[in-house]
Structure 1
């Protein structure tokens, strides 16, 4: 549980994640979480607009520190995805810091009556003392689907990606929809094919700005590839040993692609 009521003093010591406009202070010379006393940060960043306890790392406390002013040292600020190279534990703390900062920034006033919101001390929530409206951080579930046909994997290039870069299919879950229903619908909408035998793989927080990625491997049932206009530029079936540029294995999509490659290789050996 994240506590926002913990009083932070000048001598409060621990790891610090400095957040500014959905980015984290992480200069090239910094090869891990920054450990210091709170007093050492004030000359560098000024007084925080928000700060609090975030969790623990290697048995020591981790705190977040939010500043929203314009910064001159743009090269020292990274988005959380760039911190994947430091491992899951660091990335998850970075993702949490960015998402907590966004939650506090977007819930200063009650969406029901317009009064000021106040942070709840015992859970991550904002409460309106006037009308009782309580808000929690928004989490947008998203499905990732690796579609397999025989010994081939379906990969697509989004209109947002550079030429030559492909990944598995993805889409947001809609209201009153299960994860499996969303996966089937998104694949049908984006490339026009039908799938079944969905196998859950895992999940990964994705702070852009507040998504939770959930992964499935599915079997191709039928249909021809028809790319959704303005969404999918191209989609093809690929052999595991002839893949284009794909996401790194630090991402859930990259891990799923690697898992499919290993499954297909295992099936070949078995036959």
Structure 2
């Protein structure tokens, strides 16, 4: 028997934005928001976008969507355009069901932020030039190269049998409880980061970190490494500048949770499936 695997609609790759033809589709981005059409889509034909005479900061070739080349137009401001509006990436993620499409938008936002923040050499101040063939900027004077910034961080679900520890951050949507997360410090392992961040944020000690999955998180350039960790000891004690509320929740009485495209939700769903013996989420 021959197994046939369908190709995903989105494939990230370097493309020369100056060598793309009329079949190219464009994503228009400014500060975590995308230009959006009347029917809710973010992809526009190249010829239509060029006719708008937008305040362009940079162009970045991103990859292929359903066989068509995709280019990012990163703007220096967000103009008002009749019949179109601007939607934040978080808002799009909360309603968009296509995981591949969300991955494309997340990459676009991350690349756009990087390109905007890396226009000049940090050593000599000379304007940077795009490197042909790879996603990088180079200084023509001191020859330093600048690649997209990736900031590793841990995100962990603290478990205690049929209970999970969930918390509310001031940055969360009202009423939503989530897992704990934090950036890796210089010289720190991911395991050390988990222990430190959990202790800092909620005052408990954990053990046996078990890696589950990862997710690129473009707010603005994180790589989230997701774990399940077991509660060891301690009482909940909040870090007030980071956590508004934290509680143990039984699995049969969970609060409002993060959206379906988030790694936090995936960690919770995976643990729920393990304890209930149901199908493990993909």
TM-score (norm 1): 0.89
Preserved CA contact (<8 Å) 1:159 1:233: yes
> Residue in 2 aligned with 1:81?
90
Deviates more, 1:144-153 or 1:254-263: 254-263
The one of 151, 172, 181 aligned to 1:161: 172
Preserved CA contact (<8 Å) 1:3 1:121: no
Query: Which of the two has greater helix per residue?
Result: 1
What's the CA shift for 1:236? 0.8
- Aligned partners of 1:99, 1:20: CA distance in 2, in Å? 11
- Aligned partners of 1:235, 1:45: CA distance in 2, in Å? 49
* Alignment size in residue pairs: 264
Q: 1:8 to 1:78 in 2, by over 3 A?
A: farther
- Aligned partners of 2:55, 2:22: CA distance in 1, in Å? 14
Q: 1:160 to 1:34 in 2, by over 3 A?
A: closer
Preserved CA contact (<8 Å) 2:55 2:76: no
- Aligned partners of 1:53, 1:163: CA distance in 2, in Å? 37
> Residue in 2 aligned with 1:247?
258
The one of 210, 218, 232 aligned to 2:221: 210
Preserved CA contact (<8 Å) 2:55 2:77: no
Preserved CA contact (<8 Å) 2:114 2:148: yes
What's the CA shift for 1:211? 1.2
- Aligned partners of 2:60, 2:19: CA distance in 1, in Å? 7
Q: 1:6 to 1:231 in 2, by over 3 A?
A: closer
Match of 1:78, SS? strand
- Aligned partners of 1:62, 1:263: CA distance in 2, in Å? 39
What's the CA shift for 1:109? 1.0
- Correspondences of 1:1-20 after superposition (within 5 Å): 2-3=13-14, 5-8=16-19, 11-20=21-30
What's the CA shift for 1:14? 2.4
- Correspondences of 1:51-90 after superposition (within 5 Å): 51-73=59-81, 76-84=85-93, 85-90=96-101
What's the CA shift for 1:35? 5.0
> Residue in 2 aligned with 1:46?
54
What's the CA shift for 1:223? 1.0
Preserved CA contact (<8 Å) 2:166 2:178: yes
- Aligned partners of 2:70, 2:102: CA distance in 1, in Å? 13
- Deviating above 4 A after TM superposition, structure 1's stretches of 4 or more consecutive aligned residues are none
Superimposed CA distance per residue, residues 110-161 of structure 1 (whole angstroms, 9 cap, x where no aligned partner): 1011111111112111111111111111111121110111210000111333
Unaligned runs of 5+ in 1: none
Match of 1:51, SS? strand
Match of 1:97, SS? helix
- Aligned partners of 2:24, 2:184: CA distance in 1, in Å? 37
1:175 aligns to 2:183 (yes or no):
no
1:101 aligns to 2:145 (yes or no):
no
- Aligned partners of 1:258, 1:161: CA distance in 2, in Å? 19
What's the CA shift for 1:164? 2.7
1:151 aligns to 2:159 (yes or no):
no
Unaligned runs of 5+ in 2: 1-11
Preserved CA contact (<8 Å) 1:4 1:120: no
Deviates more, 1:94-103 or 1:231-240: 94-103
Match of 2:24, SS? strand
Deviates more, 1:216-225 or 1:73-82: 73-82
> Residue in 1 aligned with 2:5?
none
